[in-house]
Amino acid sequence: MSFSRDFIALACRKGVLRFGSFVTKAGRTSPYFFNAGLFDDGASFDALCGFYARAIRASGLAFDMLFGPAYKGIALAAGTAMRLAGEGMNVPFAFNRKEAKDHGEGGTLIGAPLAGRVLILDDVISAGTSVRESVDIIRAHGAVPAGVAIALDRMERGLGKDSAVREVSDFYGIPVVAVATLDDLVAFLADDATFRENLPAVQAYRDAYGTHATR
């Protein structure tokens, strides 16, 4: 999709997507590193949430509200809700605290009550810990997890032969929507003169550890 390539281009320009030699949580040496926390100014973060909104709408996924797991998901849920509202789709959102508050409104949740079909927003899926915690919270409140929206699907093997993203999708029986995938990154590198020198290393990494995208 055109917005996937636009997202990759923004991530490269902003330094969110960097190239070099990085050790992943799985202990692999990756030729690229994605850090959504570096969308750290108003313009780029607004654009990021706009990409989430476009990916969510393009997926056709049915949901009633958004949930952002602490910490990165908090801003993503709020920002994406605003972008969706600007496109005529006004949905409530909520997020959690890491620790319960024992005064004021109390509890661990802030925002709208969890109800109906809840779409989880996060930056990436690595071990799936954040998704698991989010699903537990959503179900504990009597709501239903509708899916997960992430920025980048690295399309690499998780614990088994499938990708970490597909493992999460299959385990919980929910779809995962990605703004962009490793395939989108490879296509972008092949066409962009500034970053093309990184293509052989990324392709080699995909050959070694890659799987298919979920979408």
pLDDT at 102 over 80: no
| Average predicted confidence (pLDDT) for the chain | 92
Report the run of H or E that residue 214 belongs to, with start and end: none
- Concatenated DSSP letters of 103-157: STT-EEEEESPP-SEEEEE-S--SSSHHHHHHHHHHHHTT-EEEEEEEEEE--BB
**pLDDT score, position 215:** 47
Q: What is the DSSP letter of 24?
A: -
User: Residue 106: pLDDT above 60?
Assistant: no
Alpha carbons 91 and 82: distance in angstroms, whole number: 9
Which pLDDT belongs to residue 38? 96
Residue-wise pLDDT tens digits, 5-16: 999 999 999 999
Looking at residue 179, what is its pLDDT? 98
Q: Name the residues annotated as catalytic.
A: 101, 103
**Interval 108-167: pLDDT, tens:** 899 999 999 999 999 988 767 889 999 999 999 999 999 999 999 999 887 778 888 988
**DSSP run (H or E) holding 43:** helix 42-59
What is the three-class DSSP state of 69? coil
pLDDT per position as a tens digit, 182-202: 999 999 999 999 999 999 999
What's the rounded Cα separation, in Å, for the pair 17 and 8?
A: 8
Q: What's residue 24's pLDDT?
A: 84
Residue entry with tokens 């602490």: 70
In the chain, what are the domain boundaries? 2-209
b/e per residue 50-69 (b: at least 16 CB within 10 A): bbbbbbbeebebebbbbbbb
159 or 63: whose pLDDT is higher? 63
64-86, pLDDT tens digit by residue? 999 999 989 999 999 999 999 99
2-209: which CATH number, 1.10.10.10, 3.40.50.2020, 3.40.50.970, 3.60.10.10?
Answer: 3.40.50.2020
Residue 8 identity (one-letter amino acid): I
